[in-house]
């Protein structure tokens, strides 16, 4: 190899290389896109000729956009700098003074300080608040940067000083400011909850995709709207952040822009101390097909690059890792001179004319408005896919001794010296004493900078963030039109899942609301029998169906279409939930009341993506989560990882989630119908979790007068045929059938009469009982009120035996109001692979176990002979010494 380098041909070849480069430069000088084309053609030719071509996933550690390709900055930098400094100050002062006054109340100052310029360039030049009568760009802010967003709203005059003083004080009888972006807490301001790391970027990707879905289906008009997601570099470690990025390129989402704030730090310390996070992210995003724009160095480096003829500067930059870069910004100019430039005499020479202070203030790209502007502009112009901007910044920028320290994420207060240094550094026109108090500062409305700020926002259509909810015009189909589902199955054995799918097909045909329905499945359509729906409305495919499906000659073929209505997400429950979120908040974000029905394997719901459900509720999302293959004994054969006996417990933790566990199709139809009415006609900010089972049995017709009971949680289904009932039997889902069978065994074999109740929602019964109890507690002088549960059971007699395919804690929720009456049978413990009969025997929720539990309880109450009860248990085949399934 060495020999070859020294051959004369090699020298000649260098000349040839120079010639080629010269020719290439000429092409690029006239049109860089042609340059790119030429290079691509050469690469392809090389591949054909068998010359190995390395793919370039990581480019040199410098800005993607060269200086000579930059356009000039269109704004007034002097005024913008002033504004940005004031926002920085007020954001910091808000957190600082709040923590002085209320120690430990928290907040963050160093995240926004690194992000400020990246946001300000957006606010002044890019973030549209509207597109005609359509809402504007969607911006997902880094949650911990919210103080900066509030501080901007303060300068805009949207919040007064009093409001700022109520940061993290939401319970003081005056409007407060929530710690992070929460639409639930500030419904006129925040649109997107982002603070749980990873949820923002994931939702942003699916938001951009859902926007295209609505456009392609003709539900909304096409606009230039963009989805901007500001993401922390530490946040990119969340699988949620990066796990779905390939969807962006696959669906050519050029309406999506990620800005990763690469301040090189997370909470504890460096994100990649021994490497460079920007390199890693560049390779990841480029590999996934994104347009990557790196904004690493500020304009003041341009001159150094120009004077560095040997490429030593870049060489030195590529020798340093993020841990070094952090230390440079923490330790000052002299340290940088020695440790960075000092490695090579030529580099020392480059900065010989600069003071240490000037060396220290050589900017990073993410603090340089010109570099940022050019990157955003490029991102906007990029067609055919999403863009990520990797912007290098400094955590705690300008915060004196807090800057670039490992502990800077946790800093909430500045020292007096740091406050002084801050006002000097950013030129804040406050006297020292006021500065030390952390006083806010807003120039008069007539000040040129405030006028400028208002003009910029006016030009872009108004203020951001802003959340609005238009009046929804929605016509819920009357329950009387759903006779096919309320009228019973005419003895035909069907499941609630089948009943739901046919109801869904009907709703999809509804002339008023059909087009608003968004069926979502994570590769489980066939599990739920959705083949007919696929044929009916098609699967959404951004590029249509480019292939002839193998089953095209069949009636129910796999139909993909550009205006397909189903979102078939593939195996991603998190992605499907993100689609559910985009659809369930479209009533506000796009002014169209989309109605998502997300059908999934119940087990892979709340326990897998619970945090996203929480964020959905925070977003005031509406829609139906349909937990298919529900129940620990109804889902036969699948065992421990598939049999869901606890989602109802988890669903009960979400305040706006209404949970139902219907046994019959008429119950399910009544719940869905009322859900549509409540969410979309009554504009209630709630959503539904409804279990669907796959056990087939005859669906009875809806009895008279049970609607209220179904919706509130319980109704008497089959009263004791003769005489007064000695016990009350509660059942839900398919276990209701076991309860009905128990009622018969008890009557025929043991001569005991019982009432049977269908319990559609213990969660709702409990919520109502708690609310009534609270009212009674707070109004001791008023006549006592009764909950729906108490009223329903008022005239009933005897113990209550409740059986469920979910954990015992589900019925137990109502036990405080049923003192010593309630006996619960449920499916605590892990699932097993077996059939229903054996599973129900094992978990003690079959009819025999219900009978046994009733006799046992009556025996304890002296209403049945104890010895007879023990004998009955044996007769019923119940093994008194069997291992407790909860521990098995």
Ligand X SMILES: Cc1ncc(C[n+]2csc(CCOP(=O)(O)OP(=O)(O)O)c2C)c(N)n1
Task: State the residues that interact with Mg ion by CB under 5 A.
Answer: 232-234, 263, 265
C-alpha 481, offset from chain centre: 36
Nearer CB in complex with ligand X: 237/696: 237
Nearer CB in complex with Mg ion: 277/800: 277
Beta bridge partners of 756: 718, 729
Closest approach of ligand X to the CB of residue 268, in Å: 8
Instruction: Decide: 745 and 851 in contact? Cβ < 8 Å.
Output: yes
Phi-psi group of 622: left, alpha or beta (phi > 0 → left; psi -120 to 50 → alpha; rest → beta):
beta
Nearer CB in complex with ligand X: 378/409: 409
**Which of Mg ion, ligand X, none sits in contact with 409, Cβ below 5 to 8 A by type?**
ligand X
Closest approach of ligand X to the CB of residue 453, in Å: 24
Closest approach of ligand X to the CB of residue 458, in Å: 30
Give the three-class secondary structure for 97. Answer: helix
Please list, in sequence order, all residues whose beta carbon lies within 8 angstroms of the beta carbon of residue 278, skipping any fewer than 6 positions away: 61, 262, 294, 296, 390, 392
As given in the structure block, the two tokens for residue 174 are: 């005056």
Nearer CB in complex with ligand X: 196/797: 196
Beta bridge partners of 755: 728
Helix axes 665-676, 496-509, angle to 10 degrees: 40
Q: How many helices (H) and strands (E) does the chain have?
A: 37, 22
Residue whose C-alpha is closest to residue 226's, from 140, 142, 121, 285: 140
* Four-residue CA torsion sign, 391, 396, 399, 403: negative
Position closest to ligand X via CB? 232
Closest approach of ligand X to the CB of residue 237, in Å: 8
**Which of ligand X, Mg ion, none sits in contact with 197, Cβ below 5 to 8 A by type?**
ligand X
**Which of Mg ion, ligand X, none sits in contact with 767, Cβ below 5 to 8 A by type?**
none
**Which of ligand X, Mg ion, none sits in contact with 728, Cβ below 5 to 8 A by type?**
none
Residue whose C-alpha is closest to residue 123's, from 168, 93, 158: 158
Name the phi and psi angles at 299, rounded to 5: -60, -30
Closest approach of ligand X to the CB of residue 110, in Å: 7
Nearer CB in complex with Mg ion: 234/365: 234
Nearer CB in complex with ligand X: 180/301: 180
Nearer CB in complex with ligand X: 71/239: 239
Angstrom distance (rounded) from CA 356 to CA 308: 19
Nearer CB in complex with ligand X: 197/729: 197
Give the three-class secondary structure for 680. Answer: helix
Closest approach of Mg ion to the CB of residue 263, in Å: 4
Instruction: Report the interface residues with ligand X, using CB under 6 A.
Output: 111, 114, 142, 144, 195-197, 232-235, 261, 263, 265-267, 271, 395, 409
Closest approach of ligand X to the CB of residue 281, in Å: 12
Secondary structure letter of residue 392 according to DSSP: E
Closest approach of Mg ion to the CB of residue 262, in Å: 7
Nearer CB in complex with Mg ion: 260/594: 260
Reported for 396-403, long-range contacts at CB under 8 A and 24+ positions apart, including other chains, are 396/109, 396/110, 396/113, 396/114, 397/110, 397/113, 397/114, 397/116, 397/263, 397/367, 398/88, 398/113, 398/422, 398/425, 398/426, 399/92, 399/109, 399/110, 399/113, 402/109, 402/110, 403/110, 403/329, 403/330
Closest approach of ligand X to the CB of residue 396, in Å: 9
**Which of ligand X, Mg ion, none sits in contact with 366, Cβ below 5 to 8 A by type?**
none
Closest approach of ligand X to the CB of residue 229, in Å: 12
User: 271-309 b/e with 16+ CB inside 10 Å = b?
Assistant: bbbeebbbbbbbbbbbebebbbbbbbbbbebbebbeebe
What's the per-residue H, E or C state across 536-570?
HHCEECCCCCCCCCCCCCCCCCCCEECCCCEEECC
Nearer CB in complex with ligand X: 204/740: 204
**Which of ligand X, Mg ion, none sits in contact with 267, Cβ below 5 to 8 A by type?**
ligand X
Angstrom distance (rounded) from CA 478 to CA 790: 30
**Which of Mg ion, ligand X, none sits in contact with 195, Cβ below 5 to 8 A by type?**
ligand X
Residue whose C-alpha is closest to residue 396's, from 414, 380, 384, 370: 414
Nearer CB in complex with ligand X: 232/798: 232
Nearer CB in complex with Mg ion: 302/411: 411
Concatenating the DSSP letter of every residue in 619-650 gives: TT---EEEEES-BTTTS-S--TTT-BS-HHHH
Closest approach of ligand X to the CB of residue 179, in Å: 11
Angstrom distance (rounded) from CA 230 to CA 622: 25
Closest approach of ligand X to the CB of residue 402, in Å: 13
Closest approach of ligand X to the CB of residue 266, in Å: 4
Nearer CB in complex with Mg ion: 233/560: 233
Q: Which helix (H) or strand (E) holds 292?
A: strand 291-295
**Which of ligand X, Mg ion, none sits in contact with 286, Cβ below 5 to 8 A by type?**
none
Instruction: Decide: 362 and 73 in contact? Cβ < 8 Å.
Output: no
User: 105-115 b/e with 16+ CB inside 10 Å = b?
Assistant: eebbbbbbbbb
Do the bridges between strand 714-718 and strand 754-759 make them parallel or antiparallel, or are there none, so unpaired? antiparallel
Residue whose C-alpha is closest to residue 598's, from 727, 504, 483, 485: 504
Angstrom distance (rounded) from CA 808 to CA 91: 49
**Which of ligand X, Mg ion, none sits in contact with 196, Cβ below 5 to 8 A by type?**
ligand X
Nearer CB in complex with Mg ion: 265/643: 265
Alpha helices, H only, 321-438: 322-331, 333-339, 345-350, 356-360, 369-381, 416-426, 432-437
Burial class (CB in 10 A: 0-12, 13-18, 19+), 339: middle
As given in the structure block, the two tokens for residue 382 are: 């990029």
**Which of ligand X, Mg ion, none sits in contact with 111, Cβ below 5 to 8 A by type?**
ligand X
Closest approach of ligand X to the CB of residue 152, in Å: 17
Beta bridge partners of 600: 627
Nearer CB in complex with ligand X: 152/337: 152
Closest approach of ligand X to the CB of residue 765, in Å: 33
Nearer CB in complex with ligand X: 219/267: 267
Name the phi and psi angles at 273, rounded to 5: -55, -40
Closest approach of ligand X to the CB of residue 323, in Å: 15
Nearer CB in complex with ligand X: 263/792: 263
């Amino acid at each position: 190899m060495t020999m070859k380098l020294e051959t004369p041909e090699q020298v000649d070849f260098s000349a040839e290389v120079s010639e080629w480069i010269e020719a290439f430069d000429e092409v690029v000088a006239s049109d860089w896109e042609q340059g790119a084309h030429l290079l691509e053609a050469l690469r392809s030719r090389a591949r054909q000729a068998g010359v190995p071509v390395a793919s370039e996933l990581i480019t040199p550690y410098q800005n993607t956009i060269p200086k000579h390709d930059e356009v000039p900055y269109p704004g007034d930098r002097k005024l913008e700098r002033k504004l940005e400094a004031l926002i920085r100050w007020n954001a910091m002062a808000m957190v600082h003074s709040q923590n002085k006054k209320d120690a430990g109340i928290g907040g963050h100052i160093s995240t926004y300080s690194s992000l400020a310029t990246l946001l300000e360039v957006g606010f002044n030049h890019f973030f549209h608040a509207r597109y005609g009568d359509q809402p504007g760009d969607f911006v997902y802010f880094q949650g911990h940067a919210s103080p900066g967003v509030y501080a901007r709203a303060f300068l805009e005059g949207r919040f007064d000083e009093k409001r700022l003083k109520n940061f993290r004080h939401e319970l003081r009888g005056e409007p407060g400011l929530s710690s992070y972006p929460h639409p639930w807490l500030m419904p006129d301001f925040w649109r997107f909850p982002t603070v749980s790391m990873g949820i923002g970027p994931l939702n942003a990707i699916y938001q951009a995709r859902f926007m295209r879905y609505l456009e392609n289906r003709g539900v909304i008009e096409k606009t230039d709207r963009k989805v901007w997601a500001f993401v922390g570099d530490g946040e990119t470690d969340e699988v949620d952040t990066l796990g779905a990025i390939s969807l962006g390129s696959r669906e050519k989402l050029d309406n999506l822009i990620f800005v990763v704030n690469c301040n090189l730090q997370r909470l504890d310390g460096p994100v990649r101390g021994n490497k460079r996070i920007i390199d890693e992210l560049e390779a990841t995003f480029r590999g996934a097909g994104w347009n990557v724009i790196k904004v690493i160095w500020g304009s003041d480096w341009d001159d150094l690059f120009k004077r560095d003829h040997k490429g030593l500067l870049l060489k030195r930059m590529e020798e340093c890792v993020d841990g070094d870069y952090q230390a440079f910004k923490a330790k000052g100019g002299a340290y940088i001179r020695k440790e960075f430039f000092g490695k090579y005499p030529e580099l020392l020479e480059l900065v010989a004319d600069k003071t240490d202070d000037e060396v220290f203030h050589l900017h990073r790209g993410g603090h340089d408005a010109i570099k940022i502007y050019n990157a955003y502009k490029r991102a906007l112009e990029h067609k055919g896919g999403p863009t990520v901007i990797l912007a290098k910044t400094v955590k705690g920028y300008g915060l004196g001794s807090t800057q670039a320290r490992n502990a800077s994420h946790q800093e909430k207060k500045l020292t007096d010296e740091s406050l002084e240094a801050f006002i000097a550094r950013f030129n804040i026109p406050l006297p020292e004493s006021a500065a030390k108090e952390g006083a806010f500062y807003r120039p008069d409305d007539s000040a040129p900078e405030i006028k400028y700020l208002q003009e910029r926002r006016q030009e872009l259509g108004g203020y951001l963030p802003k959340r609005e909810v238009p009046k929804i015009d929605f016509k819920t189909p009357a329950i009387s039109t759903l006779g096919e589902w309320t009228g019973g199955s005419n003895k035909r054995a069907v499941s609630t899942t089948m009943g739901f799918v046919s109801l869904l097909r009907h709703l999809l045909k509804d002339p008023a609301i059909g087009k608003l329905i968004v069926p979502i499945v994570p590769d489980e359509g066939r599990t739920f029998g959705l083949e007919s729906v696929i044929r009916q409305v098609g699967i959404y495919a951004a590029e249509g169906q480019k292939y002839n499906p193998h089953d095209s000659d069949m009636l129910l073929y796999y139909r993909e279409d550009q205006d397909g209505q189903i979102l078939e997400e593939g195996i991603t429950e998190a992605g499907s939930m993100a689609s559910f979120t985009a659809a369930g908040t479209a009533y506000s974000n796009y002014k169209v009341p989309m109605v998502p029905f997300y059908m999934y394997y119940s087990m892979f719901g709340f326990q897998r993506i619970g945090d996203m459900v929480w964020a959905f509720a925070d977003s005031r999302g509406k829609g139906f989560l349909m937990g298919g293959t529900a129940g620990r004994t109804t889902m036969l054969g699948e065992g421990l990882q598939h049999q869901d006996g606890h989602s109802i417990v988890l669903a009960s933790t979400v305040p706006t989630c209404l949970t139902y566990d219907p046994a019959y199709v008429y119950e399910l139809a009544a719940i869905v119908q009322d859900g549509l009415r409540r969410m979309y006609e009554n504009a209630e900010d709630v959503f539904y979790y409804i279990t669907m089972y796959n056990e087939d049995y005859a669906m009875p017709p809806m009895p008279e007068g049970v609607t209220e009971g179904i919706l509130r949680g319980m109704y008497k289904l089959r009263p004791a045929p003769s005489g007064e009932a000695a016990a009350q039997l509660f059942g839900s889902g398919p276990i209701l059938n076991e309860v009905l069978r128990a009622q018969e065994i008890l009557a025929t074999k043991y001569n005991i009469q019982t009432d049977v109740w269908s319990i559609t929602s213990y969660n709702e019964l409990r919520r109502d009982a708690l609310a009534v109890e609270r009212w009674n507690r707070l109004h001791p002088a008023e006549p006592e009120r009764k909950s729906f549960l108490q009223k329903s059971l008022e005239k009933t007699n005897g113990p209550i035996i409740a059986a469920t395919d979910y954990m015992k804690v589900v019925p137990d929720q109502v036990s405080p109001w049923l003192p010593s009456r309630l006996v619960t049978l449920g499916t605590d413990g892990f699932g097993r692979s077996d059939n229903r009969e054996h599973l129900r025997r094992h978990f003690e929720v079959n009819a025999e176990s219900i009978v046994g539990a009733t006799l046992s309880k009556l025996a304890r109450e002296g209403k049945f002979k104890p010895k007879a009860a023990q004998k009955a248990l044996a007769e019923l085949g119940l093994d008194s010494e069997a291992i407790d399934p909860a521990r098995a």
